[in-house]
Amino acid sequence: MSTLVCGRMVTPQVVNVHLDFGCSASSALSSSGTNAPAADKLPTAPPRKVIKRIISGTTRWNQDMTSSASAKRDRDEAAGNEKPTLHATPSRSSDSAPSRGVIRRIVTGGGTYEDTNITGKRPRSGETSRSFLEAAKPLPELVRPRTLDDFVGQEHLLGEGALLRGLIDADRIGSAIFWGPPGTGKTTIARVIAKTTSSVFKELSATNATIAQLREVFTEAENVLKLTGRKTLLFIDEIQRFSKSQQDAFLPVVEAGTLSLIASTTENPSFRVNNALLSRCRVFVLNKLTADDTYRILVRALRIQYEQQSGKALPSAKSAPADPPRADDSALDSTGAPPTGEPPAATPDPVFAHTGPVDPDLVRFLASAADGDARVALSSLDLALSATRDTKGKISRDELKRSLRKAHLQYDRSGDHHYDTISALHKAVRGSDANAALYWLARMLEGGDDPLFVARRLVRMASEDIGLANPHALPQALSAYQATQLIGMPECDCILAQIVVMLAESPKSVRVYKAYNSAKALVRESEAYPVPLHIRNAPTGLMKQLGYGRDYRYEPGYAHPVHQTFFPPELSGTTFLRDDDSVIGKTYDEAALQEWEWRNLGGQKWSGRDEMMRQLDAAAAAEKLEAGRKDPN
């Protein structure tokens, strides 16, 4: 069947060639069995410098034809010396891409073009976009649990009978805040709720959301509630990134019940979330994942990845056989059981038969190095799998461990972790545990905390906790601060360690610290009594006439002790300072004392026990006497 094109009857096979070359390939219209006019009688379009190249279903225009090539093409076409020819070559598609048949290469006197989309079907753009997006997802996103049954960890919240699990199953979650370290499942729980709730689910991130976007969601939530009766559930990731004014925007809609807010945060909501908003939300605390939980997450990821790639289902892991082979049968008792009574270890998951160097030992190493962060663990596992693929399995397990070992501690230098760690250091020094104090110091310094911040706290400890028991502690702490300021990290680490050990091993006295706290409390709670006249300053004659400084006794001028009062008359007899061994205001806990005696003295009696009991009895008698004076009846 032929078609009339440019005054000629041509076959369909060469129509596209003629049109693609701007109706200039007149020689291409010649075909056997066609009664068409001669080529030189046809009008010839002006030569073009453009080639249409079709590769892999896409179209590109190349401006690479020169004037000489155009002229040659015109001469060849006028003479009718050359026809387009068709060559079939194997498809250029990769191993992972579906084959599209053959490449059709059409050659003319002026150039060539290729068409690879002859026999294959062109994929739909939507499907292609989705496949590209899925391929770009990292491993933590690909294996994210879709249901609570797949979720690992947080048994106190999601276990059978737990509060949060019951609220999710009943679809009555309400407004809530998930607070926990990174990689513990806060976002995953929110997305599981999205799949189970009957409410309209919206998700925003506080890192890039604006007030305008929030108001748009609020308006849409109100309209949906009016039209359908369905509430909206809005998930805000990292809500601590919102300013106070942005958080205030949630108050009207949460208060009115227009939507329920679910937010996640890695920082203490008591400090980073408005009190008004916090009071309208339940706070669920997620704990750091244990190494066993992280290991289970990694094994699950390996299984999912293998089953997706191979299309085969793996059997579940089983317990070890009843009589596993042993290297030393002499270790068995007469019953054939281990002498320790330990249960047989579980066999490795079947997926490890397909993972090469990524064996259970390496996976447990990654789980431990992740420090409870599932995202870090999964990213490390993804890197290990990529390394084994790139090296075709030649990389060893030890080399993977060296490459994937923890490069830095997970330490938040401005959040809760920072303050929790310095609190642990301070309490270890106060408790005279130098070893624990060194550990917490190392955690802070190796985590990248400011050494001057640590040095300032050591100066405080020298006065608050050591005080008058070792008057040299404060100048030494000040010297350590100056040395840290002078030389910095890493050279100052041993200086700080020296002061930490000195403070921990010094005798402790909180006499001044407690006395000043009592004085502060009295000043805040009582009125500002006037200064007695005899201890007022009298720099002028008028002040002396008014009685300022009268009857003041200058102690160094007397050969003997003299009495005078320095308190206002209303506070006469007030005492702030007490001896360190005084039991007044202290707690007596017999169970705690017995535990200390057992752990530190091997169960022997503390030498100060009898004196302490005597003072406790005296203090109780004095308190009873004072109570009788105040209430004679």
489 neighbors 444 (Cβ within 8 angstroms): no
Bond preceding residue 475 cis, omega within 30 of 0? no
40 neighbors 78 (Cβ within 8 angstroms): yes
**Tens of pLDDT along 347-358?**
778 888 888 788
The full set of domain ranges for the chain reads 3-115, 154-285, 416-509, 512-571, 590-630
User: Rounded to a whole number, what is the distance in angstroms from the first to the last CA of the chain?
Assistant: 127
Q: Which residue is associated with the tokens 């009071």?
A: 279
> Does this chain's domain 154-285 share its CATH topology with 416-509?
no
Q: What is the percent of the chain where pLDDT is above 90?
A: 31
Whole-model pTM: value is: 0.59
**Tens of pLDDT along 508-540?**
999 899 999 999 999 999 898 999 998 999 888
* Secondary structure (DSSP) of 45-69: PPP-S-EEEEETTEEEEE----HHH
**Tens of pLDDT along 100-115?**
444 444 444 444 444 4
Burial class (CB in 10 A: 0-12, 13-18, 19+), 64: exposed
**Tens of pLDDT along 594-611?**
888 888 888 888 888 888
Distance between CA atoms of residues 22 and 41, nearest Å? 18
Q: What is the percent of the chain where pLDDT is above 70?
A: 70
66 compared with 6, residue with greater pLDDT:
6
Coil vs helix vs strand at 427 = helix
- Range with the poorest average pLDDT among 12-26, 412-426, 547-561, 609-623: 12-26
| 484: pLDDT strictly greater than 90 | yes
What stretches of 334-408 show up as alpha helix (H) in DSSP?
A: 360-369, 374-390, 397-404
Tell me yes or no: is domain 416-509 CATH 1.20.272.10.
yes
| 216: pLDDT strictly greater than 80 | yes
**Averaged pLDDT of the chain:** 77
Query: 154-285 architecture in CATH?
Result: 3-Layer(aba) Sandwich (3.40)
| 238: pLDDT strictly greater than 60 | yes
Distance between CA atoms of residues 425 and 409, nearest Å? 17
Distance between CA atoms of residues 262 and 233, nearest Å? 7
User: What are the distances in angstroms from CA 5 to CA 2, 75, 364, 567?
Assistant: 9, 21, 72, 118
According to the model, what pLDDT value does residue 175 have?
92
According to the model, what pLDDT value does residue 136 have?
74
What stretches of 405-510 show up as alpha helix (H) in DSSP?
A: 416-430, 434-446, 451-461, 473-487, 493-505
Q: Report, in angstroms and rounded to the nearest whole number, the Rg of the chain calculated over CA atoms.
A: 41
| 492: pLDDT strictly greater than 90 | yes
Rounded to the nearest 5°, which phi and psi values hold at 106?
Answer: -105, 120
Distance between CA atoms of residues 19 and 191, nearest Å? 54
Burial class (CB in 10 A: 0-12, 13-18, 19+), 554: exposed
- Longest Cα–Cα distance in the chain: 145
407 compared with 291, residue with greater pLDDT:
291
The β-bridge partners of 283 are: 177
